[in-house]
Chain A
Amino acid sequence: MMEASGLSLLTVILFLPLVGMTIIAAIPEAQGRNIRYTALGFSLVIFALTLVMWASYNPADPGLQMVQRWDWLPTFGVSYFVGVDGVSLLMIVLTGFIMPVAIFASMASHILEERGREKLYYAFLMLLEWAMLGAFMIQDLIVFYIFFEVTLVPMYFLIGIWGSENRVYAAVKFFLYTLAGSVLMLLAILYVGNQAGTFAIPEIIAAVQSGALVFPFSGLFSTQSFLFLGFFIAMAIKVPLWPLHSWLPDAHVQAPTAGSVILAGVLLKLGGYGMIRILLPMFPEASVAWAPVIGVLAVIGIIYGAWVSYAQTDAKKLVAYSSVSHMGFIVLGIFALNSQGIQGSILQMVNHGISTGGLFLVVGMLYERRHTKALDAYGGIWKALPVFGAISLVLTMSSMGLPGLNGFVGEFTILMGTFGSEYLGFFFALFATLGVILAAVYMLYMFQKVFMGELDKEENKHLHGLSWQEYAALVPVVVGCFIIGIYPALFFAPMDSTVGQIVAQVTQFVTTVAAR
């Protein structure tokens, strides 16, 4: 690995949020405006820098780029080690994109006026951005683990302080679930690091691939499989994969709008990202062996999430369960273990971040106006707020996978990958594709309930129009839906070489598995 001299762009991006947090901490609580705009300014600069990073990324090189590595605890083989490749590139950009959106949404929200402590709020947002960027950039297992866990802290407080009625319950539940998973992951990390003599992910993978490091594999229950599961469960909870999803609806329903947007937009992706980054290349045989089992869980999640979503009467809960369904697609694509499935999954993580994040914005804006999330309280809103209705329609369509918008591209490539997968195949694709029907069922149900029908409720007749902050949050999201839908080649291009390498790393062990 190359040691970069000077600061890598990644390091700059990574530590900017901490700088922002410090500055915010120094601003007096009374100057709310300064606090808000500092946070906004930092998030916009960070987003711009992530775009610079994308522009300077070389798609032909499958390995890590813009690497920076400093020894931290050489004795343990722990180092500060950042780098970006085709898997993490879009995740970093997504984080950069979602943050300003979430901040605009916060600026338009009344919750901060009600509950106060604006300084703390924006400081937590900055801390959260730092942790998320770190988790996507860091290439050292121990430090990755730390960032993975640190994301919990600000999110816990965002839900716990600025959430709805049941916020404490939801916050604790969120924390417990994710922490429970990561304890197992920590054990697995310690074991792997101990065996490998290093915690640097690329070095461990190289050792595994060259045969220098062997995690014995002899079936679904063997050393490698246990290590695999140690990581997998943590990731699966984060995703969340059925049946580990029950923290998600609570967390979403109770979280403030910005919290939901970030949770759906970025945090859930940590799980999918971790699977691609760590599980597949580090435990290829276990990945292959477990693929059908995980595929079944993913397909159940797709259908179950959609079906349960349809029964909801609370708009936010409906969107939350739709996440369970969508994230099922993502896990399914990853364990198709071919480039179509994995690239589709990476893109779908971005898509889900944008569309579901957007839907949470929509629900949040409705809540701002009517102080209820019950579907029955609405009806005919399209007539009251025509532009808002149109934007919501685009997001609804994006979420249910209308071709020409982003969601379709991801879903389609995932399903195609699943269909052509050596390990999943026809029936997985068949049942997962049923989810496409169900998506129309629940999304249109919500859209009709809220936006169509007669505008018959008095309190809905005089809703105030969108503020500029709300437009600033929604418009980029909608534009993103169109860009990815019409020209996804742009987004697939940087993944090609890296994902191709990962697929090769997995498949070179297939013959070994098949022989057994």
Chain B
Amino acid sequence: MPTPAETEALLLSLRVAVWSVLGSLPLAIAIAWLLARTRFPGHALLNGILHIPLVVPPVVIGYLLLVFLGRRGPGGMFLENVFGITLGFTWQGAAIASAIVAFPLMLRAIRQSIEGVDRRLEQAARTLGASPANAFCTVTLPLIAPGVFAGMVLSFARSLGEFGATITFVSSIPGETRTLPLALYAAAQVPGGEAQATRLVVISITLAMIALIGSEWLARRTRHYSSGEP
């Protein structure tokens, strides 16, 4: 059985991953729609910028977050002055770091599924009295549900494994920001920490397998639903 410290890291990882996924989901759907369905100046640039987390090392993302959302960053100062929020050294900050690193994965999955939806169905909905927003919610969204779900699973998995951006942005505080990968890293740094590291590896893999199997099961159900299987 896991020790209290391990349980703490496990629960923290789950909390960070869940909030990172749920928090980025609406934005990912909105931006995916924008990229899939509209053309505007800077379209390619926006797409490129959103994919940066996929190609630069997470540590760099963490550094940029520190510079932008830290106490002395423009975003961080705004949050502190207007809302009284500081992200540094908090699990919310860890969730944001995870969300940004995982964002391109979620975005790609959702965008592709939106591109796969027949726009003519949306037109049909419009002629039947549905406003654009209503057509999106009642026609497009149910049809892209499998893609949205796939994006959520990918992003959840990426969040569970997030290390570099998290440790750089919010450091590694037990119980607050020390998620499983960070705990694993700390254990591996100590001479003789192998046993501890191995236990954490087993926990991580178990968690990943449960998440994967659970998501496969859910995905099958979602597919049935949106493809109109009885």
Say if A and B assemble together: no
A interface list, Cβ under 8 A from B: none
